[in-house]
């Protein structure tokens, strides 16, 4: 059997008699075809994709701007009354709305109890553009928080006569702020988050992205994921006490707006 013939550079002579080598254009053409076909496939799927159902409630309840005027047409309605926690809406600005795709839906609320516990709850629900949801590692530093520790945890959520374990990521964070008399001080925080679509819950960003790709190519449907997060802050050394209260808030509030209960989780 003869050896396979490989693409060989073409030998050419200049007018002066020097020998030059001309590489075959085949690899370049192949690479361009791959890019063109990939772009065409992306355009096709975006034009023909169906959008999946959300795993959270969406209602015609507008979010308000800093002056108390409606700033959106709908939102994810986070509960106003949760156990003995008090709450108030968190305004959303035009700049915040314009930082993500226009069909992104939000939910935002601030909860507090006595003077020792304050927490914000946030939902970012993607529309037809998956870039509505960024990696959590990008969001926190942009708001001045530095990640100190990453842990995985399960929070017990009551559901009717039964309950289920909600898989979450629990990050311990810190930032430097100005306290009384403008003195610098360190503030600790506990950041808890997870992702949910109409049938799955996961705490892994990578697992969510893999699921989106698999679902798109097998069913031609874009999964509609929501990024749910809670953030509480406290004095250094009080992290576990703050987390215990935050878990109580999460367990009581999640059943009020999340539609998926104990669904199969997505792995990495």
Mean pLDDT lowest for which of 10-14, 15-19, 248-252? 10-14
The 10s digit of each residue's pLDDT in 121-162 is: 999 999 998 888 888 888 788 788 999 999 999 999 988 778
* Average pLDDT value over all residues in the chain: 85
Q: Is the pLDDT of residue 102 over 50?
A: yes
The residue ranking higher by pLDDT, 12 or 119, is 119
Please tell me the predicted confidence (pLDDT) of residue 266: 67
Scan for tokens 């007018």, then name that residue: 15
CA distance 18 to 15: 8
Q: What is the pLDDT of residues 182-232, one digit of tens each?
A: 888 899 999 999 999 999 999 998 888 888 888 888 888 899 999 999 999
Least confident of 47-51, 108-112, 156-160, 255-259: 47-51
Distance from C-alpha of 193 to C-alpha of 167, rounded to nearest angstrom: 9
> Which tokens hold the place of 120?
């914000």
Long-range CB contact pairs, 232-236, < 8 A, 24+: 232/117, 232/118, 232/119, 232/120, 232/189, 232/190, 233/118, 233/187, 233/188, 233/189, 233/190, 234/116, 234/187, 234/188, 234/189, 234/190, 235/187, 235/188, 236/174, 236/186, 236/187, 236/188
| Other C-beta atoms lying within 10 Å of the C-beta of residue 14 | 8
**How far is residue 35's CA from residue 258's CA, in Å, rounded to a whole number?**
40
Instruction: Please tell me the distance from the alpha carbon of residue 238 to that of residue 248, in angstroms, as a whole number.
Output: 16
**What pLDDT, on a 0 to 100 scale, did the predictor assign at position 143?**
82
Q: What is the mean pLDDT of residues 48-69?
A: 90
Question: Does the pLDDT of residue 55 top 70, yes or no?
Answer: yes
Task: Inform me whether the pLDDT recorded for 6 exceeds 50.
Answer: no
List the chain domain ranges. Answer: 10-47, 52-257
29 three-state secondary structure: helix
- What pLDDT score does 5 carry? 44
H/E segment holding residue 4: none
In 3-state terms, what secondary structure has residue 220?
coil
pLDDT of residue 3: 47
Contact, 78 vs 255, CB < 8 A? no
User: Has residue 12 got a pLDDT over 60?
Assistant: no
pLDDT digits (tens, 9 = 90+) for 235-247: 999 999 999 999 9
What share of the chain in percent tops pLDDT 90? 54
Q: Is the pLDDT of residue 71 over 60?
A: yes
Distance CA 261, CA 201 (A): 9
Longest CA–CA span in the chain (Å) reads 92
The answer to whether residue 64 scores a pLDDT higher than 90 is: yes
């Amino acid at each position: 059997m003869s050896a396979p013939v490989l693409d060989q550079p073409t030998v050419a002579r200049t007018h002066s008699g020097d020998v030059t080598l001309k590489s075959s254009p085949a690899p370049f053409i192949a690479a361009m075809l791959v890019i063109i076909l990939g772009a065409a496939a992306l355009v096709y799927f975006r034009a023909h994709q169906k959008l999946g159902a959300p795993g959270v409630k969406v209602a015609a309840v507008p979010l308000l701007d800093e002056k108390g005027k409606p700033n959106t047409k709908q939102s994810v309605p986070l509960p106003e009354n949760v156990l003995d926690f008090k709450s108030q809406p968190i305004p959303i600005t035009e700049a915040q709305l314009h930082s993500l795709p226009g069909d992104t839906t939000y939910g935002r609320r601030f909860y507090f109890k006595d003077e020792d516990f304050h927490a914000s709850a946030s939902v970012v629900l993607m529309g037809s553009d998956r870039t509505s949801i960024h990696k959590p590692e990008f969001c926190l530093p942009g708001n001045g928080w530095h990640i100190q520790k990453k842990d995985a945890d399960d929070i017990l959520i009551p559901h009717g006569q039964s309950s289920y374990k909600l898989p979450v990521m629990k990050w311990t964070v810190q930032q430097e702020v100005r306290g009384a008399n403008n003195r610098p001080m360190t503030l600790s925080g506990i950041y808890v988050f997870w992702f949910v679509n109409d049938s799955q819950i996961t705490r892994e960003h990578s697992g969510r992205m893999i699921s989106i790709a698999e679902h798109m190519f097998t069913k031609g449907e874009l999964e509609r994921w929501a990024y749910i997060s809670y953030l509480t802050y406290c004095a250094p050394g009080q992290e576990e006490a703050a987390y215990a209260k935050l878990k109580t808030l999460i367990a009581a509030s999640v059943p009020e707006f999340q539609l998926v209960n104990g669904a199969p989780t997505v792995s990495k």
